Amino acid sequence: MTRLLRQYLPILDWGRTYDRNALSNDLIAAVIVTIMLIPQSLAYALLAGLPPEAGIYASIVPIMLYAVFGTSRALAVGPVAVVSLLTASAVGQVAEQGTAGYAVAALTLALMSGGFLMALGLFRLGFLANFLSHPVIAGFITASGILIATSQLKHVLGVEAEGHTLVEMVGSILSHLNQTNWITLIIGAAATGFLFWVRKGLKPLLRRAGLGPRMADVLTKAGPVAAVVVTTLLTWGFGLDGQGVKIVGSVPQSLPPLTMPGLAPDLLRQLAIPAILISIIGFVESVSVAQTLAAKKRQRIDPDQELIGLGAANIGAAFTGGYPVTGGFARSVVNFDAGAETPAAGAFTAVGLAIAAVALTPLVYFLPKATLAATIIVAVLSLVDFSILKKTWGYSKSDFAAVAATIVLTLWQGVEIGVASGVLLSIGLHLYKTSRPHVAEVGLVPGTHHFRNINRHKVETDPSLLSIRIDESLYFVNARFLEDLIQDRIAEGCAVKNVVLMCPAVNEVDYSALESLEAINHRLKDFGIGFHLSEVKGPVMDRLKTSHFLSELNGKVYLSHYDAWQDLLPQPVSRAAE
């Protein structure tokens, strides 16, 4: 019972040994992360099409719930760029931005996503996330970064625009270009330029000025806060909101409210697929970050328990005015680098954000939306990395095809079709490759007991013995391939008296392949040709023993291929008379 409780409540593990030292480290990390998160949370809410406070609410209760249920010591849970984009895309299909229905649908999405993650975790189905191959994820994140940056251009220009694909968005922005608000553009462009400079140029400068690396890092992370403060003051001082500069406006001064997600069957049905997609993409991003950080300290994370932790966080978001959340890369790395030792750091961050929600929200009244857009653009452009195309091209054309399809289709058709196509293409190409496995006719390397491909090596062969090594598991996708192969070889050469299938790379023989082996056996038997297996693995042999195949086999199973060679060659067995 205790064991089970501790499995599902990791807090019981680290909580028992929590001490003053860990407390002080966690507190310092929490202060740094809180400062970074305030503008980021507002910005991601904007990206998701929600009121700014939703971003802060989504960072408070979810972080606390993750601290109870999650297994990573350093993961920081909250709104992230890609999930915010997916939320905007999904919720935009069922409600108009700015309406009450939109915010309720975002809560529903968080609830469904949380429920799905929790179900995956309880049924230990975390392996499903593996269907997103690395190239597909890399392609998807790159394309999402471009989509997100493009979606923020309208705020920098101060125009109205819409659309969920690159073409739609660019078209919409171009058609509204004449409405550009020049003051907004100046603020947005200056903020973007400043933030890029902070990211690239400030840190070296601070180091040269004599600051320690950690201090330089912290100041660099505070760049967005500086941009927020300066542009807010300018807007307030010069009354720029009267000149058409869009501002954040009044944000309720309150702790996260208790909210109720929409539960209409129609809404649930429409959001089901996006909820699954958000869950899986969010989980993959989160678990990669968690694993990377855990490995640095030889800690373990449990992917199935991570699902439960993220599920709880999302359900929490659904009932406290938030929207779908996951473990973010940037905030987690900052948290880790700032010295966070336990999930308590996350809880302290939540307290910091709660204080901000109650006390600081009036201060962002004059914050221009263009500044938030600038912070998003600078953050997501660091996600854009086309080098995956070059890397996969050099290594594997099918991985390249998957990543290229994901990028093109995400930009062209939107995030859902893009990532779904990438997954299906990865699976399809994998199955295609295994449907035409590498097969070698092998012969004896003279003076050894080794057998090698007759086309690559100088080897001994005998016309009466056909030795075939198959480099793949035998299953339905390639079962007929083997039948065709052997039938073709037998139709060609008639001197063959024995066929030996060398199976060291056969990790599985499914029922279809068993029937194909039986068919091969019967056909060869009709021609008086022996059919043998060699080097069959233990688990495969165990399974074959449960069938009639071995008793009907017109030949033997040899432990090593050399045994078969010795047994079948000195006095070739003719079974034509059978």
Residue 390 interacting with a second copy (CB under 8 A): no
Chosen residue from 396, 413, 461, 464 binding a second copy by CB under 8 A: 396
Q: Which stretch binds a second copy (CB under 8 A): 12-20, 252-260, 359-367, 391-399?
A: 391-399
Binding mask 125-154 for a second copy (x = CB under 8 A): --x-xxxxxxxx------------------
Q: Which of 93, 398, 461, 464 binds a second copy (CB under 8 A)?
A: 398
**Coil, strand or helix at 498:** strand
Beta bridge partners of 532: 500
Least distance from C-beta 420 to a second copy, angstroms?
Answer: 14
Q: How far is the CB of 413 from a second copy (least distance, A)?
A: 19
Record the tokens describing residue 79, joined without a space: 């709104």
Q: Is 543 in the site for a second copy (CB under 8 A)?
A: yes
Determine, following the binding rule CB under 8 A, whether residue 479 of this chain makes contact with a second copy.
yes
Minimum distance, C-beta of residue 118 to a second copy, in the bound complex (Å): 20
Our CB check for a second copy shows the closer of 131 and 196 to be 131
Give yes or no for a contact between 534 and 500, defined as CB atoms under 8 angstroms apart.
Answer: yes
For the segment 523-542, give every residue that binds a second copy (CB under 8 A): 523, 526-527, 537-539
Q: Shortest Cβ distance from residue 541 to a second copy (Å)?
A: 12
Residue 453, classed as helix, strand or coil, is strand
**What is the closest distance, in whole angstroms, from the C-beta atom of residue 48 to a second copy in the complex?**
28
**Beta-strand pair 498-502/530-534:** parallel
Of the candidate residues 250, 507, 566, 574, the single one contacting a second copy (CB under 8 A): 507
Least CB distance from residue 547 to a second copy, whole Å? 5
The answer to whether residue 514 forms part of the interface with a second copy (CB under 8 A) is yes
Under DSSP, is residue 117 helix (H, G, I), strand (E, B) or coil?
helix
**DSSP 8-state secondary structure symbol assigned to residue 239:** T
| Residue 95 makes contact with a second copy by CB under 8 A | no
Instruction: Please report where in the chains the tokens 């080794």 appear, as a residue.
Output: 450
Q: How far is the CB of 475 from a second copy (least distance, A)?
A: 6
Question: Smallest distance from the beta carbon of 127 to a second copy, in angstroms?
Answer: 5
Give the count of residues interacting with a second copy (CB under 8 A): 74
Site string for a second copy, 235-274 (x = CB under 8 A): ----------------------------------------
Measure the CA–CA gap between 157 and 179, rounded to whole angstroms. 8
**Structure tokens of 340?**
């966070």
Q: Looking at 168, 515, 563, 567, which residue binds a second copy (CB under 8 A)?
A: 515
Sheet holding 557-558, edge to edge: 451-453, 439-444, 465-470, 498-502, 530-534, 557-558
Assess contact for 496 and 461: CB atoms under 8 A: no
Q: Least distance from C-beta 399 to a second copy, angstroms? A: 4
- Paired with 533 in beta bridges are 501, 557
Beta bridge partners of 558: 534
Going by C-alpha positions, the residue among 362, 375, 358, 359 that lies closest to residue 236 is 362
Taking a C-beta distance cutoff of 8 angstroms, is the pair 457, 490 a contact? no
Q: Please, are residues 74 and 340 in contact by the beta-carbon 8 Å criterion?
A: yes
Task: For residue 214, count other CB atoms closer than 10 A to its CB.
Answer: 12
Rg (CA), the chain: 31
391 lies in the binding site for a second copy (CB under 8 A)? yes
Q: Which is nearer to a second copy, 160 or 484 (CB)?
A: 484
> Among 261, 437, 530, 555, which residue sits at the site for a second copy (rule: CB under 8 A)?
437
- Out of 512, 563, 567, 573, name the contact with a second copy by CB under 8 A: 512
Comparison of 133 and 349: residue with beta carbon closer to a second copy: 133
Instruction: Give yes or no for a contact between 469 and 451, defined as CB atoms under 8 angstroms apart.
Output: yes
- Minimum CB distance to a second copy smaller for 200 or for 397: 397
Q: Which of residues 457-476 bind a second copy (CB under 8 A)?
A: 471-473, 475-476
Nearer to a second copy, 162 or 508 (CB): 508
Residues 6+ apart with CB under 8 A from 355: none
Q: Are 207 and 213 in contact (CB under 8 A)?
A: yes
d(CA 297, CA 336): 11
Which residues fall within 8 angstroms of residue 280, CB to CB, at 6 or more apart?
128, 129, 132
Binding residue (CB under 8 A) for a second copy from 99, 162, 431, 574: 431
Q: Helices (H) and strands (E) in the chain — how many of each?
A: 25, 8
Is residue 432 a contact point for a second copy (CB under 8 A)? yes
Contacts (CB under 8 A) with a second copy, residues 269-308: 291-292, 294-296, 298-300, 303
Rounded distance between C-alpha atoms, residue 419 and residue 135, angstroms: 11
SS3 label, residue 54:
helix
User: Residues 21, 178, 546, 551: which binds a second copy (CB under 8 A)?
Assistant: 546
Q: How far is the CB of 136 from a second copy (least distance, A)?
A: 8
* Of 255-263, 312-320, 349-357, 423-431: span binding a second copy (CB under 8 A): 423-431
State the residue for tokens 């080897």. 459
Of 26-34, 106-114, 322-330, 432-440, the segment contacting a second copy by CB under 8 A is: 432-440
